[in-house]
Amino acid sequence: MAKKRHLIVGSGAAGLSALRQIRSLSAEDEIKVISMENCLPYSPTALPYLLSGKIEEPKLWTADKDYFDQLRADLVLGKRLVAVLPEKKEALFGRGGKENFDTLLIATGSEPLFPVVEGMKEGEVLGFHTLKDYQEILQRMKGKPKAKSVVLIYGGGLVAMGLAQGLIKKGYPAKVIVRSRILRRYFDPEAGALVDKVFSSHGAEMVTGSEIDRVGKKGKKWEVFLSDGSQLSGDLLVNCLGTTPRVSFLEGSGIAVDGGIVVDRSMRTNKEDIYAAGDVAIAKDFFYGKEGGNAILPSAVEQGKIAGSNMAGEVKEYEGWVSMNVFHFFGKGAYSIGLTNGDEGMEVLKDGGKSKGWYKKLTIKEGRLVGAVFVNVDVDPGVMLYLIKNRLEIEKVKEKILEKPGQVSRWLMARNERA
């Protein structure tokens, strides 16, 4: 077979996963990875920990030059994708760059959502999505007295809470402004309240149920006016409202976009030889085969691997994404896996709550586990995910799982593996 030329745009989890997969399947093909940033690949997931001082900047890089050398791939930095021409099999980059490809993977990730609020200007109000954002936050907080400098965080998702934790651990008071309640996407009100309580006890202030109406500056301080009429002031305002797939460069390309890049089970777009994976992709979900985005690292890795296989010519199908996340906060763990809301036709079992300091919840559909939430419970989240993904029959032991989730889930997994 003739040597192929693979182009991977984006050096995040999906891009690197595809790179490893292509190389493991074909020794000869040419692979080029292009990043819009001017630094080695890193994951935004690690940024809050960089902020809290848990790791040093040199330890941040997921891959270095040796890594690309070993995989015999070229890494090109600082080039931003501006257009894709599927018919010509060309990708155009800023400042006149052009690359040809036999297969293309678009793994450009996501960009922060910026709200339309009076007085909020991008650049002045920071985000927390890139290494540059992190460096900017450090720069602006430099020299400010720690205990007295308040950071206002707008949003209550995992990025917001991770940032809040990082700041608190560094000694800065953080105020989290949430439109509804924290971690809404992953945790129900009971689980969220538990997390909220722990954050509050560590000095974070939670302002829930309010939107920001407008912001202004008074001297060096930010003035924030909320929808309930109250007012907050702080030294720094960071927007963490969420992210959206980075797809603006696809306009006019003919590649189907619907919130993100729509792909089939092989992670292929509507155009031959053009694939998408990771935060940017709209792929099928595990339970219903419905299309949607799932901007989390584990999905990016899986999708990158599937895309890589198909790009290298080995047909692989994606089994679909499962919504999930882990959040470790102040010595406690919170896990959310699968369909945790308990929709129609699902049975919900729960135990614990705010007063007990822990929480467990299982959602079951047709005798099989489809979702699980645990806060401050000794359990292995990967094994729970195993039970869900393998669609194990748990009807007879569901109460037992709720009672002793760690032991029972490991037992079910081991029994299934060794059967």
Positions that interact with another protein (CB under 8 A): 13, 17, 20, 42-46, 49-50, 54-55, 59-63, 67, 297-298, 301, 305, 324-326, 328, 331-333, 335, 337, 380-383, 385-386, 389, 404, 407-408, 410-411, 413-415, 417-418
DSSP bridge partners of 327: 334
Quote the CA–CA distance of 235 and 217 in Å, as a whole number: 10
DSSP bridge partners of 207: 177
Q: At its nearest, how many Å lie between another protein and the CB of residue 145?
A: 27
> What are the CA-CA distances from residue 44 to residues 12, 110, 278, 303 (Å)?
9, 11, 13, 18
Q: At its nearest, how many Å lie between another protein and the CB of residue 10?
A: 15
Q: Are 216 and 223 in contact (CB under 8 A)?
A: yes
For residue 104, the SS3 value is strand
Q: At its nearest, how many Å lie between another protein and the CB of residue 213?
A: 34
Backbone phi and psi for residue 19, each to the nearest 5 degrees, phi listed first = -55, -50
62 DSSP assignment: S
> What are the CA-CA distances from residue 312 to residues 3, 4, 18, 25, 38 (Å)?
10, 8, 10, 7, 28
Q: At its nearest, how many Å lie between another protein and the CB of residue 67?
A: 8
- Measured from the CB atom, the residue of 83 and 392 that comes closer to another protein is 392
Q: At its nearest, how many Å lie between another protein and the CB of residue 267?
A: 15
Q: Alpha helix (H) ranges present in 93-188?
A: 131-141, 158-170
Q: How long, in residues, is the chain? A: 419
**CB proximity list for 286: less than 8 A, separation 6 or greater:** 319, 320, 321, 322, 389
- Measured from the CB atom, the residue of 17 and 269 that comes closer to another protein is 17
- Measured from the CB atom, the residue of 62 and 208 that comes closer to another protein is 62
- Measured from the CB atom, the residue of 251 and 417 that comes closer to another protein is 417
DSSP bridge partners of 328: 333
Q: At its nearest, how many Å lie between another protein and the CB of residue 310?
A: 17
Closest CA to 341 of 314, 368, 373: 373
Quote the CA–CA distance of 192 and 259 in Å, as a whole number: 27
- Measured from the CB atom, the residue of 43 and 208 that comes closer to another protein is 43
Q: Are 348 and 384 in contact (CB under 8 A)?
A: no
Q: At its nearest, how many Å lie between another protein and the CB of residue 404?
A: 8
Q: At its nearest, how many Å lie between another protein and the CB of residue 150?
A: 25
Q: How far is CA 247 from the centre of its chain?
A: 17
- Measured from the CB atom, the residue of 98 and 328 that comes closer to another protein is 328
- Measured from the CB atom, the residue of 185 and 217 that comes closer to another protein is 185
- Measured from the CB atom, the residue of 120 and 296 that comes closer to another protein is 296
Q: At its nearest, how many Å lie between another protein and the CB of residue 290?
A: 22
- Measured from the CB atom, the residue of 283 and 377 that comes closer to another protein is 377
Quote the CA–CA distance of 101 and 89 in Å, as a whole number: 6
